[in-house]
Chain A
């Protein structure tokens, strides 16, 4: 069976700036992975490459054995870092769009999460607060039965109570063979749910390890270790 997510010597340059520099990274099925790095380290570039929004300057990236494209979009649920939804629409209509686009979208799951977070289906997206817009986008992304979830900063603007709910949702909702990649710098909040941590710095992977082994070896939390590695 092909690896779910595999990069080989993946490089991305924007003009003279190298955003990703020879990244080798393999992620298997059934994992929750934290993609952790400071601002500008290449997290968003890597997730965009995985979704075919960018093309590599060199090297390769494959999802389930395929170059990102139509084939992989069926199995990848992507939450981008910026809003991409037609914001004049109601939340209900956005759910309709997702149903049309993605065969694996489950309206009933989305409804339940909206209700539990007290979000109104009839509200127009652009009238929602920033935090609530983020919640809606995350709910839409998590309501697909995908094999790979790529979540770019999913909890940054969300209040702590909703953050807990969302993390519990991530744990409880995805299937056992699915993998979730969460890019964030809010490590303390997400570290209890992770299997593995990937540290990325200046476009290079500097660590890829199970978080329990890391805690055992370093005698500190992933958050504390991150602060040590990335000390300014």
Chain B
């Protein structure tokens, strides 16, 4: 996942989403030291204060922690990662179900589609 932003939404919220994604997908490993705020801001092409705010939010959520002199690290507590994974999975599912509902699929239709996925002729990956 790169750093692509929709300028019509606050960038801070988008940074939080991207960074969470990188942590739960293991792109940033548990216990790994994160680049500095400046480095991350430079890489993402965003304002350093905005990046700082996004990292502070992750810290409040327990996904990263700061060691006074050494910088910022990804949490090494598996339960924190697991909680975030669950939260993200619920958000993704909610979005998926609402899109399916818009297409006119009932919950049953949707479940059926998932269960038969890869069994029928719908392997279009």
Contacts and interface: CB of A to CB of B under 8 A. Distances in A.
A211 B11 CA distance: 9
B120 interface: no
A220 interface: yes
Interface residue tally of chain B, by bracket?
10 to 19
Interface stretch (A35-43, A58-66, A85-93, A163-171): A163-171
B45 A215 contact: no
Contacts, number: 52
B46 interface: yes
A216 B8 CA distance: 8
B28 interface: no
A188 interface: yes
Nearest to A170: B42
A167 B47 CA distance: 10
A200 to B, nearest CB: 21
A194 B50 CA distance: 9
Contacts of A176: 48
A30 B47 CA distance: 11
Given A168-B42, A172-B42, A192 B47 contact: yes
A191 B7 contact: yes
Interface string B52-72: 000000000000000000000
Contacts of B46: 171, 192-193
The A contact surface, by secondary structure, is: helix
A171 B38 contact: yes
A13 to B, nearest CB: 35
A166 to B, nearest CB: 11
A195 B7 contact: no
B8 A219 contact: yes
A193 B47 contact: yes
A120 interface: no
A224 interface: yes
B10 interface: yes
A32 B45 contact: no
Given A212-B10, A222-B7, 10 more contacts: A30-B49, A168-B45, A171-B46, A171-B48, A172-B38, A195-B50, A215-B10, A215-B11, A216-B10, A221-B7
What are the 5 A-B residue pairs with the smallest beta carbon separation, nearest first? A221-B7, A172-B42, A212-B10, A221-B8, A168-B42
